[in-house]
Amino acid sequence: MREAVSRSLRSPRVLVALGLILGIAGCAVFAPLLAPHDPGEQNLVSILLPPAWASGGDPAFPLGTDSLGRCVASRLIHGARTAMTVAVLASLGAMLIGSILAHVSGYFGGAVDWIIGRAVDIWMSFPPVILSLILMFGLGVGLDRVILAIILVDWTRFCRVLRAEVLVVTRRDYVAAARLLGFSHWRTITREVLPATLPLLITLVSLEMAIAVVVEAILSFVGFGVRADQPAWGQMIADARQYVYQSPSNLLLPIFAIFLTVAAFNLLGDGLRRTLDVRLTEIGR
């Protein structure tokens, strides 16, 4: 494992991706220190200002202001906080539920496997966008609800892909040997099976973070994401879409922020997949 980690850290893909992610995470953690203004502070005398370098720009608002005169730079930085919180918590939650069920399902087989397998099938016959909209309708808006909705939609990704891997690993001789030595089921799964499925699990988590960022942006864009007083990239896009002629940069900046974050997580996932030697045929979206 240690060898695999050092191999990953020598991969340029992983390094570039980690650099980007650390940068975005830094913005998220230190948002109140980095942002020049409070993200909710409205300056109705200076609405839709262009970035500071353009003519008519105000140096107090480095990237301009939105339709309510709120500082775009501050909202972008605080939006990173929303996006990263969702990315980390939602993907860990989905990973936890999905991988526990996958290990139980693949290791024990039989009726348990059948039930979990059918549950995944039925769950996946709901298109993800529709399912998350219906869930947000039921749960109401808010950061915690967005995270919960993503967990409830995406645990199946982990479950389906990991189960196949657990099935292969469980058939290996050393797992049978562990059972013969008198290891309990719990100990066999955590000590023998899990280390073998861990590379795939880590890769899936990083890909899921990319998905979570997109879903959060989508939900906020449609108006069923975080609460209105919480800055989010999707909300910024929805607002800028209405004033696209007056202030094109307001639309392009959050688009770029989402793209950069998603690309960083995808690049990390791809780099990990290569260096940890994970066979991942089912990419899915």
Partner 1 sequence: MITTVFTLLGRRLLAAVPILLIVSALLFCALRVLPVDPAAMSLPPTATIAEVEAKRREMGLDRPLPQQYLIWLKDAVHGDFGTSIVFRRQAGSLVAETLPATIELAGLAMAIATVLGIGGGLLLFYLRGRIFELVADMGSILLLSIPEFLWGLILLFLFGVVLQLLPFTGRLSPGLSQPHITGFLLLDALLARRFDIFWSAGQHLILPAAALGLAFSPAIMRVLRSSLFDVYQEDYIEQARLRGVSERRILLGHAFKNAALPTMTLAGVQFGFLFSGTLLVEVIYSYPGMGNLMVDAVRNADLPLIQTVGLTYCVVVLLINTAVDSLYVLLNPKLRVR
Q: Which residues make up the interface to partner 1 (CB under 8 A)? A: 121-122, 125-130, 133-134, 136-138, 210, 214, 217-218, 221-224, 237, 241, 244-245, 248, 251-252, 255, 258-259, 262-263, 266-267, 270, 283-285
* Closer residue to partner 1 (CB): 189 or 238: 238
C-alpha span between 285 and 127 (Å, rounded): 11
Nearer to partner 1, 55 or 125 (CB): 125
Min. distance of Cβ 64 from partner 1 in angstroms?
16
Smallest separation, CB 260 to partner 1 (Å): 9
> 35 is written with which tokens?
């942002």
Smallest Cα–Cα separation from 82: which of 40, 25, 35? 25
| Residue with smaller CB distance to partner 1, 186 or 245 | 245
Sign of CA dihedral 180, 181, 186, 192: negative
CB closer to partner 1 out of 103 and 273 = 273
Q: Residue 185 or residue 279: which is nearer to partner 1 going by CB?
A: 279
215: number of Cβ within 10 Å: 24
Least distance from C-beta 202 to partner 1, angstroms? 18
CB of 39 to partner 1, least distance (A): 21
CB of 140 to partner 1, least distance (A): 10
CB of 283 to partner 1, least distance (A): 6
Comparing CB distances to partner 1, the nearer of 96 and 130 is 130
